[in-house]
């Protein structure tokens, strides 16, 4: 077995459920497969944009992404994850319908990454989901009652790949454009 000694770092923008919702999702994941090695509640998220991995800590990229993220002007929205998707490799929660606010926020994140000159991971495309755990098994999917919360911020995380460590780099409130109509 080869053990990686060289650290790798990966940056990603995400939305995260509130703490109470994280705990509810974790209990649900435990009911789905009590023996699975679940994603830690504090690491639960829906990825909006992700970078390649770097062997050196990406200080300059972090600074550029923080500057670019300050220009995200999305409105808060409600997110409902109401499908359980079991692939051959993982279990995840997904929305059963397109969510306009999520799609718009993801577009703003993609624009921020472009402004920062930080390219997304090669081959990555936005497919909204929240991973519960990794598994081997037959694929399946089904509707569930779901988990819903108000998304009112976006976060930038630095993952220490393979070391179950996530550093919160920044948090930005979703306040829209600041130009609201009275009519």
Tens digits of residue pLDDT in 115-160: 999 999 999 999 999 999 999 889 999 999 999 999 999 999 999 9
Q: Are strands 46-54 and 9-15 parallel, antiparallel or unpaired?
A: antiparallel
Secondary structure (3-state) at 60: helix
Asked if residue 183 has pLDDT above 50, the reply is no
Report the mean per-residue pLDDT for the chain: 92
Res. 60 pLDDT band, cuts 50 70 90: very high
Rounded-to-10 torsion of CA 31, 35, 37, 40: 40
Res. 164 pLDDT band, cuts 50 70 90: confident
Please tell me the distance from the alpha carbon of residue 16 to that of residue 19, in angstroms, as a whole number: 9
Q: What is the pTM of this model?
A: 0.90
Say how many Å lie between the first and final Cα of the chain, rounded.
64
9-75+98-124+148-173 has which fold? Cyclic Phosphodiesterase; Chain: A, (3.90.1140)
């Amino acid at each position: 077995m080869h053990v990686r000694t060289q650290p790798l770092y990966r940056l990603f923008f995400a939305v995260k459920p509130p703490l109470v919702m994280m705990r509810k999702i974790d209990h649900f994941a435990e009911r789905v497969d009590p023996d699975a090695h679940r994603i830690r509640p504090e690491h639960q998220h829906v990825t909006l944009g992700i970078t390649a991995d770097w062997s050196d800590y990406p200080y300059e990229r972090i600074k550029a992404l923080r500057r670019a993220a300050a220009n995200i002007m999305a409105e808060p929205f409600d997110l409902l994850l109401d499908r359980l998707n079991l692939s051959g490799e993982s279990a995840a929660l997904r929305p059963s319908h397109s969510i306009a606010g999520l799609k718009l926020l993801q577009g703003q994140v993609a624009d921020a990454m472009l402004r920062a000159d930080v390219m997304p991971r090669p081959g990555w495309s936005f497919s909204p989901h929240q991973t519960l755990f990794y598994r081997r098994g037959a694929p399946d999917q089904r509707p569930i009652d779901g988990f819903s919360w108000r998304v009112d911020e976006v976060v930038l995380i630095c993952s220490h790949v393979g070391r179950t460590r996530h550093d919160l780099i920044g948090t930005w409130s979703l306040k829209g454009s600041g130009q609201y109509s009275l009519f």
